[in-house]
Amino acid sequence: MHNILVTGSNGQLGSELRELVNNSTFNIQHSTFHFTDRNTLDITDKIAIEIFCSKYNIEVIINCAAYTAVDKAEDDGISADKINHLAVKYLAEISKEKNIKLIHVSTDYVFDGTNFKPYVENDRTNPNGVYGKTKLDGEKAMQDVNPKYSIILRTSWVYSSFGNNFVKTMLRLGKEKKSLGVIFDQVGTPTYARDLAKTILNIIPTIKNEAVEIYNYSNEGVLSWYDFAKEVMKMAKLDCTVNPIETKAYPTPAKRPHYSLLNKTKIKETFEIEIPYWKDSLDECLKKMKERK
């Protein structure tokens, strides 16, 4: 029996975890899950976290909460730091004090995207903007505190049938427009949040590391945002032409990594898992969206 706290439960990953658990798809030793959001648990308040963990005898924390507004973070660094850095520090400190297993979700944005081969976990970090920097600060704080049996999961290009994301934007624009331009010079791999959620639930019982470990997770394959958009239109049978454009043609306040490919060898070998190919996962997500309608 485990008491598991999920923070950020209204986000894409948190929503997928909730659905998997509620549908009894996963039954982790008859665990009890506590799904929270900013209204039910303020993770920037250490005392509030301590009270919650004591009240419900929390044994595992899955931290899905994050400040993910990449462009907004450039002008709102204080808020981003509170959620992406300080809250992670508090969660790590409480996890260490109470012997709680902590699973924290991070991002490919801790890298600058100048690599020429898939990033491994110990590659040099060098975030381009405030979002990436605050996420990296959170990682470092967690490593400094070093709670036992805890891991950091770096992921990229997350989408889901829940929340707002690239896939939903493409579906909307594909119905509204005859053509649109999508960036072709940013390369990586999407992550279907449901696949990541399944992986987290599967590996919880087998996380045994003494010191904090970092693992990369995304779906398999490599593509650009342009390729991703083309496949969305094709699978959804939308009559919208997607044209490749360069990043410089679509300026944003925050600089994006041009190369975000993550090497997943470590997580696959450590936990003996298989990771789905991105097209298969996209197909599954689009079917889920149809079911939900």
Tell me whether residue 245 is in a domain: no
Any domain includes 38:
yes
For residue 94, give its domain range.
Answer: 3-165+189-220+261-275
For the chain, the domain total comes to 1
Residue 131 annotated to the active site? yes
DSSP run (H or E) holding 183 = strand 179-183
Q: Looking at the domain assignment, is residue 250 inside a domain?
A: no
Q: How many CB atoms lie within 10 A of CB 194?
A: 25
Query: Tens digits of per-residue pLDDT, 10-57?
Result: 999 999 999 999 886 666 667 899 999 999 999 999 999 999 999 999
Q: How far apart are CA 185 and CA 258, in angstroms?
A: 6
Q: Which of these, 92, 109, 110, lies nearest to 101 by C-alpha position?
A: 92
Please state the φ and ψ torsions of residue 46, each to the nearest 5 degrees: -60, -40
Q: Is residue 230 part of a domain?
A: no
**Per-residue model confidence as pLDDT tens digits over 126-147:** 999 999 999 999 999 999 999 9
131, 149, 192, 226: the active-site residue: 131
Distance of CA 50 to the CA centre of its chain: 24
Using pLDDT thresholds of 50, 70 and 90, give the confidence band for residue 193.
very high
Question: What's the whole-number mean pLDDT along residues 190-212?
Answer: 96
Alpha-carbon distances of 270 from 118, 120, 195, 266, rounded to whole Å:
18, 14, 17, 6
> What distance, in Å, lies between the first and last C-alpha atoms of the chain?
35
Measured CA to CA, the distance from residue 265 to residue 215 in angstroms comes to 9
Task: Decide if 248 is inside a domain.
Answer: no
CATH of the domain at 9: 3.40.50.720
Q: What angle do CA 116, 195, 20 make, to 5 degrees?
A: 160
CB distance 94 to 48 below 8 Å: no
pLDDT at 278 over 80: yes
In a domain, 251, yes or no: no
Average pLDDT over residues 187-213: 96
Instruction: Answer whether residue 281 is part of any domain.
Output: no
* Banded model confidence at residue 118, pLDDT cuts 50, 70, 90: very high
For residue 85, being part of any structural domain is answered with: yes
> Above pLDDT 90, what percent of the chain?
94
